[in-house]
Amino acid sequence: MDLAHPAPESAVIESAVVELAPGKLNLALHVTGRRGDGYHLLESLVVFTRFGDRLHIEPAAQDSFAIDGPFSGQLDANADNLVIRAREALRNAVPETARAALSPVAIRLEKNLPIASGVGGGSSDAAAVLRCLNGLWNCGLDDDALREIGAGLGADVPMCLAAQPLTARGIGDSIEPAADFPALALVLVNPGVAVSTPDVFARLTRRDGESLPPLPRTIDFHSLRNWLETTRNDLEPAAREIQPAIGQALAALDKAGSGFSRMSGSGATCFGLFETGNVAKRAALAIRAKHPGWFVAATRSMPSQGADGERQG
């Protein structure tokens, strides 16, 4: 299956490369089963947003890693960070005879996405490192090779490498691009709380939900909203029990005029779907004014390759 696509919003600034690590949104998420090893089987419609973390990477005299940005205080720049693990995984994937030619790199992570918030921040950061260093080091690894490396870092990393509208199945390892999927006008809201993914799964009362229905033949704001009304996020009820503030975030989106509101992933970030970008921006301003301590961002999702990215106004 061909998931080749241009890397999202990468840019070269002098000798440094800046790579976007987009936010990942689960527009719908059904839990359909559980494997013998304990991993849950999922079906999810996923899009990626133009708002996200940013990786600044450049050749250096020695490897280094630093974190700044609004949510930097919640992360440690140690060897357990997915950014460092992705750097070392790519380095180790290169034949040992060629490894010495790989220059040390200085990596700075601009952390703009909330931590433990259901938008795939760490996985998207790792994917951005793999994409960026594959080019900077001239590794020449194809998409399949990068996905194999990414899968060793986390179930969400392969889909974050794709960074385009897709349906993910299994534990996230089976990925099918969504064709002719337009850009969506969105508002992201996190009420300032983190949610533990294992805690959410532990509270599930049902693990055998039905599959996602087929996507509409033509996808626009109205057809997608109607389709979403027939789907669920099976993790939302459990997450709302753990963090009732999620319900407040969803209510704020509805009050601001969202055409459809839902929690993403295991929470606590929620999204609202709006008919145009201008309406989304006004809604974000209204929510931010009433809840200045919350994370609020108006953004667009990335369209599928070749789709009309301006369809949503």
Residues designated as active site: 24, 156
Distances (CA, A) of 138 to 10, 97, 294: 16, 15, 41
Separation between Cα atoms, residue 32 and residue 30, nearest integer Å: 6
Contact 20, 128 (CB under 8 A): yes
> Which two three-digit tokens encode residue 38?
């304990």
233: DSSP letter: B
SS3 assignment, position 263: strand
Q: How many residues does the chain have?
A: 313
**Residue 220, CB-side half-sphere exposure with 13 Å CA sphere:** 9
268 preceded by cis ω (within 30°)? yes
Distances (CA, A) of 307 to 51, 56, 82, 312: 19, 29, 31, 12
Rg of the chain on CA atoms, in Å: 19
Separation between Cα atoms, residue 51 and residue 113, nearest integer Å: 8
Separation between Cα atoms, residue 52 and residue 284, nearest integer Å: 16
> Which two three-digit tokens encode residue 58?
């450049």
173: DSSP letter: T
> Which two three-digit tokens encode residue 217?
């033949």
In the chain, what is the straight-line distance between the N-terminal and C-terminal CA atoms, in Å?
31
